[in-house]
Chains A and B, each alone.
Chain A
Amino acid sequence: MLSMNNVKKIFRTDLVETHALNDFNLQVDEGEFVAVTGPSGSGKTTFLNIAGLLETFESGTYMLDGKDVSKLNDNQRSVLRNQKIGFIFQSFNLIPDLSLFDNVDVPLRYRGFNAAERKQRIEQSLEMVGLANRMKHLPSQLSGGQQQRVAIARALAGEPRFLLADEPTGNLDTKMAHSVMELLQEINQKGTTIVMVTHDATLAAQAARNIYVRDGRVSELHDVSAMPEAVNS
């Protein structure tokens, strides 16, 4: 599903050159639920941006669903994001001026579906997250957990092969976090590949496989208990 080989990303300023990702290697198979963890500045956000085609990289190869994405231009990457990737953000990133219906509608419009299909998909995905009866509401009328559910509905409406979650429970209390995680598990079981970036070890533990990033490199750990203490800070 996702395959990164020797991916290198460098941030340059006039004075310093930072290797955000350095010979980054990662394979994620179809249907996996992978958690990527690591301390602040470890490069996990850079990984997320590159994996989500939000940023480009200097060298190495990145195959997404069998397609080499390093040669794609901005437009092609936009189209690919739209078709293959569903995003879930830490702060939900719902558009405050739009109703739940219109929020979920956003990626579907870029996909070019016709109105009837969009409507069906929006209703279906909002149904799935249990908010079908609040379609006309504005995000500000919902709790944080509900907002994140809308964001998940939005991510899934286009039936992407691959879900990219960035600290999905970071802005939620424990109870809400729990229900969001349950929802993600459920989605994974239906066959969607999920890569979740988090610094929360207990959250990461709920994923089938954990990747630990440090200094822009991967050190894979299957045993959660062996993770360094620093991660929890």
Chain B
Amino acid sequence: MFETGPILRALMRNKVGAILIALQIAVTMTIIVNSIFIIMERKELMARESGMDEANSFYIRSSGFAKDFNNQVTVQEDLAMIRGLPGVVDAIQVNAIPISGGGWSMGLQTKPGDDQDGVGVAVYMVDEHGTNTFDVDVIAGQDFNASDIIWRDGDRNDWPDQILITKAMAEDLYPDEDYRNAVGKTVYINRNEPIIIKGIIDKLQAPWIGWNGLERVMLVPQLMDFSAYRYLVRTEPGQRDIIMPKVEEMLASSNKGRIVRELRSMQETRDRSYRRHSAMINILTTVMVILTIVTALGIVGLASFSVNRRKKQIGTRRALGATQGAILRYFMLENFMISTVGVMVGAALTVGLNMWLMQAFELSRIDWYLIPVGMVVLWLVGQIAVLGPAKRAAAIPPAIATRNV
């Protein structure tokens, strides 16, 4: 039923066309599988959650410039005003915004001393409304209360005596222990300054999405007596877009000695921060689609040509007893055999390209199952592409065999 042998021997006499298609399939597979791998990696990056109520949060930057600008009073008035707005869940003054790209980091170490290794951690300065505004839960120990909060002067570098840290940070500080045991322990900032871990929060991301310590965060109970800072506001579901302009307007008009700017939703921040990745996903997807079409058209073109060239032969086969199905099968099988060589070479090239990308661009190793998936996809592309020409071949009337050109 399957004429593998004769097809193979006939192919060996017309190698070039077959090799061209096999190579096309191989390179296409290489690009497609590596692209899919990169896309999957990027999608995985983009799927990471910041831990915040992103859909309902936004922030705005306030910069005081007037000489007589009173920071402490302004911050207290601003916060009271924003928190009092109907539709606002909570709001804080904060030094940096998760996943926004800019922020502060410090190192914490479990033992004091210049020669001890530290664990990098992102710093968010918040008051007792911090956990509610970020929408994070204290899963061990205690949250800050109002009396914990102190003012931080822009010219001083003092740290308070207690902090909240994320579960991920606790686990990195004490890799051999349950994260709950971190509560009450003393860690050291600036090499030698002790701080007590008051509580553990479930999850919150740092400002830098490319950082390997993305989930290492500490909340510091400080209000900032700085001239520039941000307010982070969390609203009731669906209220964000109504409240955003209100807050901007209120802040701008409440004090002439400052400039408010950078009113931005968390959603926009996410889009900006991950833009590079979503762009790469879009580009690679386009490339894959176009490439598949090009390869399929190439197969259609060459197969059509080969059908035209073999018209007489097909008629003869029909005369000798080949059914239409047998002719169809012949071309499908021929394509399958060429594709098989293509996907075999493609599998090797795919691994090769991945290895090179790993070396040159620090990509990770490709998931093995993508290779068989890629092979099946390319086989299918080949079979679908050749179906049209094969059907036309099957429709060639047997009487063509007796026609003498």
A-side interface residues toward B, CB under 8 Å? 45, 48-49, 52-55, 74-75, 78-79, 81-83, 87, 89-91, 93, 95-99, 102, 105-107, 109-112, 138, 154, 158, 166-167, 170
Please name 9 pairs of A and B residues whose Cβ atoms are closer than 8 Å in the assembled complex, sorted by A.
Answer: A54-B398, A81-B321, A89-B316, A89-B401, A93-B313, A93-B316, A93-B319, A110-B323, A154-B320
A78 / chain B contacts, CB cutoff of 8 Å: 318, 321-324, 326, 398
- How far apart sit A79 and B325, CA to CA, in the bound complex (Å)? 12
**Interface stretch among B8-16, B229-237, B238-246, B365-373?**
B8-16
**B303-338: which residues lie under 8 A (CB-CB) from chain A?**
312-313, 315-326
A79 / chain B contacts, CB cutoff of 8 Å: 321, 323
- How far apart sit A81 and B326, CA to CA, in the bound complex (Å)? 14
- Known contacts A54-B401, A54-B402, A97 near B320 by CB under 8 Å: no
- How far apart sit A161 and B14, CA to CA, in the bound complex (Å)? 36
- How far apart sit A48 and B399, CA to CA, in the bound complex (Å)? 9
B404 / chain A contacts, CB cutoff of 8 Å: 90-91, 167, 170
In angstroms, how far is the closest chain A Cβ from the Cβ of B210?
57
B175 / chain A contacts, CB cutoff of 8 Å: none
Interface hub of A48, A95, A102 (most chain B Cβ within 10 A): A95
Number of A-B contacts (CB under 8 A): 95
Q: Is A74 within 8 A of B9, CB to CB?
A: no
In angstroms, how far is the closest chain A Cβ from the Cβ of B30?
30
Q: Is B323 within 8 A of A98, CB to CB?
A: no
How many B residues have CB within 8 A of the partner chain?
28
Q: Is A52 within 8 A of B6, CB to CB?
A: no
B315 / chain A contacts, CB cutoff of 8 Å: 93
B279 / chain A contacts, CB cutoff of 8 Å: none
- How far apart sit A78 and B312, CA to CA, in the bound complex (Å)? 17
Complex A-B, nearest 7 residue pairs according to Cβ-Cβ distance, in ascending order: A82-B321, A97-B10, A107-B320, A93-B316, A110-B321, A54-B399, A78-B323
Interface hub of A49, A53, A166 (most chain B Cβ within 10 A): A49
Q: Is B1 an interface residue (CB 8 A)?
A: yes
In angstroms, how far is the closest chain B Cβ from the Cβ of A12?
16
B319 / chain A contacts, CB cutoff of 8 Å: 52, 54, 81, 87, 93
Q: Is B249 an interface residue (CB 8 A)?
A: no
Q: Is B3 an interface residue (CB 8 A)?
A: yes
**Which one of B9, B13, B312, B326 lies within 8 Å of A93 (CB-CB)?**
B312
For B312, give the chain A residue with the smallest CB separation: A93
Q: Is A49 within 8 A of B402, CB to CB?
A: yes
Q: Is B321 within 8 A of A55, CB to CB?
A: no
**Which one of B316, B321, B398, B401 lies within 8 Å of A111 (CB-CB)?**
B321
B321 / chain A contacts, CB cutoff of 8 Å: 78-79, 81-83, 107, 110-111, 158
- Known contacts A54-B319, A78-B321, A97-B14, A109 near B402 by CB under 8 Å: no
In angstroms, how far is the closest chain A Cβ from the Cβ of B16?
13
Q: Is A106 within 8 A of B317, CB to CB?
A: yes
A75 / chain B contacts, CB cutoff of 8 Å: 323-325
What mask results when residues 204 to 218 of chain B are scored 1 for a CB within 8 Å of chain A, else 0?
A: 000000000000000
**Which one of A54, A102, A158, A166 lies within 8 Å of B397 (CB-CB)?**
A54
- How far apart sit A41 and B244, CA to CA, in the bound complex (Å)? 89
- How far apart sit A119 and B176, CA to CA, in the bound complex (Å)? 73
For A170, give the chain B residue with the smallest CB separation: B404
B313 / chain A contacts, CB cutoff of 8 Å: 93, 95-96
Q: Is B6 within 8 A of A89, CB to CB?
A: no
In angstroms, how far is the closest chain A Cβ from the Cβ of B237?
65
- Known contacts A90-B404, A105-B6, A49 near B323 by CB under 8 Å: no
Q: Is B320 within 8 A of A87, CB to CB?
A: yes
B323 / chain A contacts, CB cutoff of 8 Å: 74-75, 78-79, 110
**B349-389: which residues lie under 8 A (CB-CB) from chain A?**
none
In angstroms, how far is the closest chain A Cβ from the Cβ of B331?
14
A98 / chain B contacts, CB cutoff of 8 Å: 6, 9-10
For B11, give the chain A residue with the smallest CB separation: A97
- Known contacts A93-B312, A95-B10, A87 near B401 by CB under 8 Å: yes
A167 / chain B contacts, CB cutoff of 8 Å: 404
